[in-house]
Amino acid sequence: MEITLQRRLMAEFLGTFWLVFGGCGAAIFAAAFPQLGIGFLGVSFAFGLTVLTMAYAVGHISGGHFNPAVTLGLWAAGRCANRHVIPYVIVQVVGGLVAAALLWTIASGKPDWVPGGFASNGYDALSPGKYSMMACFLAELVLTFVFLMIITGTTSKGAAVGFAGIPIGLALTLIHLISIPITNTSVNPARSTAPALFAGGEYVTQLWLFWAAPILGALIAGLCARILYEPPES
């Protein structure tokens, strides 16, 4: 059966929705209760598991991007058609926003709930570890670059067929383990935009970094992938 653009967009919406709902949900709900012991490790695995599960659920339909930086990186690598780029990015942002809206609605049902940063990303005073803007920019750029290299490598010709979702999900877990203290981990502009728009204030004004750094890192990785890897067989 032909994979229509409508089916592709539905898959990207669902995948990005689950990434934000599952990953940010773990940070908002479970991590708020120290007695559960989830901490950074649990949130890191939550994000990794969202990508792992959706890679197998809908990745065969849309490619399993769930991230504007991934879409643009794969486009730079020659792995994403021009006509898919803008629709993918739009539906990824919408999927993230719907997830954040549901998280806000559920979380506000707790009488003493305080939204705080609402799992948003930030630098300087808004960085969990108070890292500078430059440090946060470099972290997001490098980690997105590596993430895209892993994605393109595990989906290239000669890679183990059918197993790409596992290293990609584990890579996102590792990325979170590294960078939650630095930026609260983005490497995904849709994931950053969704909670920031609900947290408001400075979180919105700092969104530029969490679009610019991941996209730049992804584009560099896409160009490197053209040299390093053979494209997958169509």
Report the CATH number at residue 152.
1.20.1080.10
Distance of CA 42 to the CA centre of its chain: 16
Q: What whole-number distance in Å separates Cα of residue 52 and Cα of residue 63?
A: 13
In a domain, 234, yes or no: no
Would you say 148 and 218 are in contact if contact means Cβ atoms under 8 Å apart?
yes
Beta strand extents in 77-146 (DSSP E only): none
Give me the amino acid identity at 92: Q
Q: Which of 57, 44, 71 is nearest to 18 (CA)?
A: 57
Residues 113-133, mean pLDDT to the nearest whole number: 95
Q: What whole-number distance in Å separates Cα of residue 145 and Cα of residue 222?
A: 8
The whole-chain average pLDDT of the chain stands at 94
Q: What share of residues in the chain are helix, strand, coil (percent, to 5)? A: 75, 0, 25
In a domain, 233, yes or no: no
What sign does the CA torsion over 126, 130, 73, 98 have? negative
Count of domains forming the chain: 1
In a domain, 141, yes or no: yes
Distance of CA 18 to the CA centre of its chain: 10
Q: State pTM to two decimals.
A: 0.95
pLDDT computed for residue 35 by the predictor: 67
Q: What whole-number distance in Å separates Cα of residue 47 and Cα of residue 20?
A: 8
Per-residue pLDDT band at 231 (split at 50, 70, 90): confident
In a domain, 100, yes or no: yes
138 backbone φψ class: left, alpha, beta (φ>0; ψ -120 to 50): alpha
pLDDT computed for residue 1 by the predictor: 63
Give the tens place of pLDDT for each residue, 138-165: 999 999 999 999 999 999 988 877 889 9
Q: What whole-number distance in Å separates Cα of residue 220 and Cα of residue 139?
A: 14
In a domain, 132, yes or no: yes
Question: Is residue 234 scored above 60 in pLDDT?
Answer: no
Question: Is residue 37 scored above 70 in pLDDT?
Answer: no
Question: Is residue 10 scored above 90 in pLDDT?
Answer: yes
List, as one string, the DSSP characters of 152-217. Answer: HHHTSTTSPTT-THHHHHHHHHHHHHHHHHHHS--S-HHHHHHHHHHH-THHHHTHHHHHHHHHHH
In a domain, 101, yes or no: yes
Domain of 197 in residue numbering reads as 5-228
For 59, residues 6+ apart whose C-beta sits below 8 A from its C-beta are: 11, 15, 164, 165
In a domain, 16, yes or no: yes
